Amino acid sequence: MSSSSSTISRVGCWAGAGSGVGWGVMGPHASTRGRPALCPLSRAIVSSRTHCARPAAKPTSAVKNRGLGSSLVPAADGLGPGRRAPFPQSREATRPMLSRTSVSVFGAALLAGATLSAVPALADDPAASQTRQPPVWDITVGGGVAVRPNYEGSDHYRVAPLPLVTIRYDDMLALGPEGLSAYWHQGNVRVGAALTFDPGRNDSNTNGLFSNGDDRLKGLGDIDTSLGVKLFGAYQLGRISLDASVTKYTGDQNDGVVVTAGAGLPFKLADHLILTPHVGTTWANDNYMQTYFGVTPVQAAHSRFAAYTAGSGFKDVSAGIGALYRFNEHWFVTGDVSVKRLLGDAADSPVTYDATSARAFTAVGYRF
């Protein structure tokens, strides 16, 4: 999602610019051994499932873990990348197990540009992940509220509803706010591909669920929604969840490339409570940067901004902390707070009123 950047991105769930759908929930980074980090929201959900074990009916080695995967948030507005906070995810979602995005989670990226990606986490037991099990449906629904900038670079904020819906099938396919994902995992490694989207940006205020915009952008014109093809990977290094992704957008205006990387370290504070500090960064090519942070001579003539050319480079860095509390096998509450700092040409752009922004969200969910 463009203007907010993926972080609920890797949790996430509103993802920030370039993160694709990011509104959603930022999931906690993967907290279990063998599970890659997810968007904040997604991560949280995954972690909770991991640490709040269900009644044991079969040996662990014979049961496939059904934890949710990456972020649960759309990356439309600017939640941070894989950014990713704890949630049932981004990542990403969130950026990983309930990762940054995503829920990129606020609902892809609202919060910190997070996203509600639906990328499942790796199985807790590597041996179990190698044993083929009957097809299993894993569905999580819920909702909450997120606070995020009007667009990436804005100093004005908006409060918006945060939807949480993630469907996973047989630990191979996932559908969530960030789009449709297919993945494969072995041991501590998870790789996959996804169809996602960037919500674009309006040159006027908007109340759309996944849209971004501000009246001060009048004259720049709208940036249309664009589809994206994403390749992602995650690795569980001890207790640390690492994740990375590359997304190629295919819109008439935004046909740029965005690369994200993130890490999360979950801490189990109680039987049902997990906190996950997470960090992330985003790199974007010149097309993406010019689309969201550049000003052409024509745009300058019709707006308050001077002409400006934005080149490729690191777009932002982010840091935050996600929390997940599971009441029982089905109900949970999650949240994430993060801060993002724009870098380079993105920070120097005339459309950037504040290079530092905060994002936050909280949501209640039910896992069937």
As beta bridge partners, residue 309 has none
Closest CA relative to residue 325, chosen from 20, 114, 28: 28
pLDDT at position 27 over 80 = no
Q: Can you give the pLDDT at residue 312? A: 98
* Structural domain range at position 308: 40-367
Q: Above 70 in pLDDT, residue 25?
A: no
d(CA 354, CA 158): 15
User: What pLDDT score does 195 carry?
Assistant: 96
pLDDT band for position 179 (cuts 50, 70, 90):
confident
Residue 298 confidence (pLDDT) above 50? yes
Element of type H or E holding 189: strand 189-198
Give the Cα separation of 148 and 326 in Å (integer). Answer: 25
Token couple for 211: 């849209």
**CA–CA distance, 132 with 123 (Å, rounded to integer):** 12
Q: What separation in angstroms does the CA of 316 have from each of 106, 153, 330?
A: 18, 11, 36
> Closest Cα partner for 266 from 216, 336, 368, 331?
336
Lowest mean pLDDT, pick from 47-61, 240-254, 298-312: 47-61
Would residue 245 count as lying in a domain?
yes
Residue 270 has pLDDT above 80, yes or no: yes
Q: Is residue 7 part of a domain?
A: no
pLDDT tens digit sequence for 138-165: 999 999 999 999 999 999 999 999 998 9
Residue 359's contacts (CB-CB under 8 Å, 6 or more residues apart) are 4, 7, 14, 16, 78, 79, 80, 106, 110, 111, 112, 113, 114, 146, 147, 148, 149, 320, 336, 337, 338, 339, 340
pLDDT digits (tens, 9 = 90+) for 81-117: 333 433 333 333 333 333 333 332 333 333 334 433 3
Give residue 209's pLDDT: 66
Q: Distance between CA atoms of 253 and 267, rounded to whole angstroms?
A: 42
For residue 132, give every residue at least 6 positions away whose Cβ sits within 8 Å of its Cβ, in sequence order, or none: none
Mean pLDDT confidence for 249-262: 96
Task: Judge whether 179 lies within some domain.
Answer: yes
The number of domains in the chain is 1
Position with higher pLDDT, 93 vs 279: 279
Candidate from 68-82, 273-287, 323-337 with smallest mean pLDDT: 68-82
- The Cα 159–Cα 349 span in angstroms is 25
Here the tokens at position 70 are: 């990456």
Residue type, 320: G
Residue 295 DSSP class: B
pLDDT of residue 274 exceeding 70: yes
Q: What is the pLDDT of residue 46?
A: 43
pLDDT at residue 348 is higher than 70: yes
Residue 153 burial (CB count, 10 A): 29
How sure is the predictor about 252, in pLDDT bands with cuts at 50, 70 and 90?
very high
* Alpha carbons 357 and 354: distance in angstroms, whole number: 7
Q: Please, which residues have CB within 8 angstroms of residue 170's CB and are 6 or more apart in sequence?
A: 133, 135, 136
Q: 133 falls in which pLDDT band (50, 70, 90)?
A: low
Overall average pLDDT of the 202-225 stretch: 87
Cα(365)–Cα(368) distance, integer angstroms: 10
Per the CB < 8 A criterion, the answer to whether 101 and 88 are in contact is: no
Beta bridge partners of 180: 175, 195
Residue 93 pLDDT: 36
- Domain assignment present for residue 27? The answer is no
Q: What proportion of the chain, given as a percentage, has pLDDT over 70?
A: 62
Domain-located, residue 9 = no
Query: Residue 235 — very low, low, confident or very high, per pLDDT cuts 50/70/90?
Result: very high
Residue 16 falls inside a structural domain: no
